[in-house]
Structure 1
Amino acid sequence: MTTTPAPDQSAASEQERWLTPGVRGIGSASLLADVGHEIPTALLPSLLTSTLGAPAAALGAIEGVSDALAGAARFGGGVLADDPARRRTVAVGGYATTAVLGAAIGGATSVWQVGVLRAAAWTARGLRVPARNALLADIVPAKAYGRAYGFERMMDNLGAIFGPLLALGLVAWLGVQWAIGLSVIPGLLAAAAIIYAIRHTPTPTRRDKVPLRIRVRPVLRGELGRLMGAVAAFEVGNVAATLLILRATELLTPDHGTKTATTIALGLYTAYNIAATVASVPAGRLADRLGPRGPLLVLAAGVAAFATAYGLFAAGGTVVAVLAIPFVLAGVGIGAVETAQHSAVATLAPEDLRGSAFGLLATVQSLGNLAASAVAGILWSAVSPTAAFAYLAAWMLLALGGLLTAVRRS
């Protein structure tokens, strides 16, 4: 005679199957790494302008070059991560190198040193991303991809909240340079967490090394190719969150003054990050529950949330409660989109192409975000903020159409 486990026991057993030590290790690595690199990121403007006396143009040049190198490194990291054994080395090396180089910025005595260290740290960070995502797919069954990637995204978003807060405390206690230097501690703890995760990952059965080959065409075939096309449309409309903050600040300044408007806008941005954190795991759970098309459906819902948010930003509004709506919608959207993108790629990519697929995804994300911010900034200055957000909303609608087409064909 068999007995049926109680519902709460089944739920607990199911959670244990996907929330393994390996998944917890990768999630912890994302949290700690984000805390580690958010500290120098938050303090870089002050270090360059106040401590080293550099102009604002230097900050823009350093960040632009670093972001470009990170995008290129993500593509190269995907090629490296196709090999199950090699992806482990790349992941550990990427986390450790990013931590050391990022913290070394605190000891820089000239602008060129800051530029070199920042660019090198961002290159290492880009290299590790496809390896980490491929490792996570190695650990969990396909039916739990959504929850696993949702958990990783939640931990990453928590790091984005805690990192700047820790930076503020360290600056008040020790100053800018020491605060940046101490960012090595959470960074190295992230490397330790990824080692812990690897030790709880099944050892690759394949003994021979996978040759290093750039494989773009196979990734762009079939359902995976259609997904990448829709993701590209989304990312070309996925503007940097700093423009959302700027929009809120400009709308609130006439009634509240510049200082208060800036404070409120930063509070709204915090709400955006909290919404992204809270939405990630439920989005992944829903993607798993909806079956094979679940990631595409959740991705479409996230894109629709972005389209609505951008429409509200285009319309404008000077009431704080009204402005909070598009910030929360965009936060929920990014939590759902990032989770569903990773889950969909893990589901659709053949195992021997998984690294390349994640590398191409990360490259599309990086280049698309750059294009979105650049074009929106030009439209903002040349026409109006309304035109900029209308342009972004149009790309979201195009991406939504592509996703719905992919859902029907899948």
Structure 2
Amino acid sequence: MRTLLGKVFIDTRPLRYPPYRRLWTSNIVTAVGAQFSAVAVPKQLFDITGSSAYVGLAGVFGLVPLLVFGLWGGAVADTVDRRRLLLLTNGGLAASSLVLWLVAAVDVRSVWLVLVLFAAQQTFFAMNMPTRSAAIARLIPANLLPSAQALNSTVFQLGSIAGPLLAGVLLPALGLPVLYLVDALALCAALWAVVRLPALPPGDGAPQRAGLRAVVDGFRYLTTHSVLLASFLMDIIAMVFGMPRALFPEMAERTFGDPPGGGAALGWLYAAIPLGAFAFGVFSGWLHRVSRHGLGVVVAVVAWGVAVVGFGLSGSLWTAVVCLALGGGADMVSMVYRSSILQTAATDEMRGRIQGVFTVVVSGGPRLADAVHGAGGAALGTSAAVVAGGVLVVVCTLAAAVCLPAFRTYRAPQE
């Protein structure tokens, strides 16, 4: 029975390695705490201005630092001790949350101050994420990377579900400033975990400076490694064509019967994808047994596209939720294998820059999808736009798999 459960439930072997275990444990509290700020910033902006336009402006203030400092942060991660960079960026994240707490606590009603502080927070986040991801391959054996990615993804999805729910409970009971304070305390816990990591100095072939040339070298490295390039292409196809979240508000009201002020359908639509991803993460014990990671990504992205088509054709809310949940599970599988490919196919001296590009793609793809699906929904109608997007995912993924055989046949290194 123990062997059977080990084959079904999530593989916890990476947690046997103390440095990784500390890093992963800190991710639990930071995943929830980060969602507190994700709820608090839009709420604070709306309370100050009464305008959704300013809430939307927060997306711009968050995206630009992610694009710029995600790439540069990855280059920095290849030139310095990654542990020290994690200490700096985690400290910056905690400090920015503390300042946001102070601004909210004393009721400073300056929308631009909140936006600038949010941009500063996202700057530290953009540098922290590629550094944290690049460090994992130095903490555990390569054959455990898929299991580690499944553990990381499951914690992230848990935070995506529990964070907003807890924020909704705490907000009316304790007030907006408490959300920022809890996030800051969670980041301090992450800082403690980073302090106990071993030194992670740059490799022998690492660049001496993290300038524009280092960033360009990272892109040049990508162009000569078709497996890495294809992994990004697969994610772009899945997210840009197949992420219909911009249509959730309209579909919740006009397709699934929510009242004009909002209702349960909208909440279920937003929760369905992370719920599916979390469920697949819990039962991901089989993922590390698949060595053909490239083919695994192709199958998972095609499954995501089929699930999106099913969502677009759904007339029932619960059918739609099931389709989105299955899509979330497929996306989790794709993410696990893509992340493992990035960790194993890239050399250590390039790993930070590759993870920087990964951060930009993962963060920017859904935002671009919002624009694509918003325009498509207005022109074609919501259901037609969703179905067309899902079909494009399937067709483009299969075409890319045929044109990029090195990715389709890529196998994980065995140790």
How many residue pairs match? The answer is: 392
Instruction: Tell me what 1:162 maps to.
Output: 162
- Which residue matches 1:59? 55
2:48 is equivalent to residue 47 of structure 1 = no
Cα offsets for 1:27-75 (capped at 9, x unmatched): 223222222221121122322222x234211111122221222132211
* CA gap 1:273/1:305 in 2 versus in 1, 3 angstroms: same
RMSD of aligned C-alpha atoms?
Answer: 2.9
Query: 1:387 and 2:384 equivalent?
Result: yes
Residues 287-312 of structure 1: per-residue CA shift (max 9 Å, x gap): 43122x2x223322321222012212
Structure 1 match to 2:276: 275
SS at 1:183 equivalent: helix
Residue aligning to 1:90: 85
CA contact (8 A) 2:277 2:329 kept: yes
- Structure 1 residue 172: deviation in Å? 2.7
Partner of residue 112, structure 2: 112
Does residue 1:68 correspond to 2:64, yes or no?
A: yes
In structure 1, stretches of 5+ residues that fail to align are: 1-5
Write the distance in 2 (CA, Å) between the matches of 1:195 and 1:106.
Answer: 24
CA contact (8 A) 2:144 2:288 kept: yes
The change in CA–CA distance for 1:33 and 1:111 in structure 2 (over 3 A counts) is same
Cα distance in 1 for residues equivalent to 2:221 and 2:239 = 21
Distance 1:177 1:276 in 2: 30
TM (normalized to structure 2)?
A: 0.85
Q: Which residue of 1 aligns with 2:413?
A: none
* Per-residue Cα deviation, 1:258-279 (whole angstroms, up to 9, x for no partner): 46x7213313433432221122
2:73 to 57, 71, 77: 77
Query: Match of 1:305, SS?
Result: helix
Deviations 1:183-219 (A, max 9, x none): 21112212222333x24xx754858974221221112
Aligned-pair identity (%): 21
- Residues 95 and 328 (structure 1 numbering): CA distance in 2 closer, same or farther, change over 3 Å? same
Pick one of 311, 314, 320 that aligns with 1:313.
Answer: 311
Letter in 1 for 2:277: A
1:352 maps to which of 333, 349, 362: 349
**Residue-by-residue CA offset, 1:138-194 (whole Å, 9 max, x unaligned):** 112111110011101111111222222222232233211333233211122122223
Distance change in 2, residues 1:219/1:98 (3 Å): same
The more displaced of 348-357 and 113-122 is 348-357
Are residues 265 and 165 of structure 1, via their aligned partners in 2, closer, same or farther at CA, if it must alter by over 3 Å?
A: same
Q: What are the equivalent positions in structure 2 for 1:213-362 lying under 5 Å apart?
A: 213-214=214-215, 215=217, 216-222=219-225, 223-239=227-243, 241=245, 243-244=247-248, 246-253=250-257, 257-258=259-260, 262-280=263-281, 282-283=283-284, 285-291=285-291, 293=292, 295-317=293-315, 319-362=316-359
Contact 2:66/2:126 (<8 A) preserved: yes
Amino acid at match of 1:219: L
Q: Report if aligned partners of 2:206, 2:350 keep a CA contact under 8 Å in 1.
A: no
Mark the CA change 1:23 to 1:183 in structure 2 (over 3 Å): closer, same or farther: same
Classify 1:77/1:395 alpha carbon distance in 2 versus 1 (closer, same or farther; 3 Å).
Answer: farther
1-side partners of 2:369 and 2:289: how far apart? 32
What is the match of residue 176 of structure 1?
176
For 1:122, the equivalent position in structure 2 comes to: 122
3-state secondary structure, aligned to 1:112: helix
Q: Partner of 1:139: helix, strand, or coil?
A: coil
Distance in 2 between the 1:43 and 1:249 partners?
Answer: 25
* Higher deviation after alignment, 149-158 or 205-214: 205-214
User: For the residues of structure 2 that align with 1:7 and 1:43, how far apart are their CA atoms?
Assistant: 44
Report if the CA contact (8 A) 2:206-2:349 is conserved: no
- Cα distance in 1 for residues equivalent to 2:267 and 2:243: 17
CA distance in 2, matches of 1:69, 1:203: 25
Question: Which residue in 2 is equivalent to 1:3?
Answer: none
Question: Which residues of structure 2 form unaligned runs of 5+?
Answer: 411-415
Match of 1:142 in 2: 142
Partners of 1:238 and 1:369 within 8 A in 2:
no
One-letter amino acid of the structure 1 residue matched with residue 36 of structure 2: I
Aligned residues of 1:219 and 1:349 also touching (Cα < 8 A)? no
Structure 2: distance between partners of 1:334 and 1:205:
32
Within-5 A mapping of 1:20-35: 20-35=17-32
8 Å CA contact 2:130, 2:352 repeated in 1:
yes
Q: What one-letter code is carried by the residue in structure 1 that aligns with 2:220?
A: R
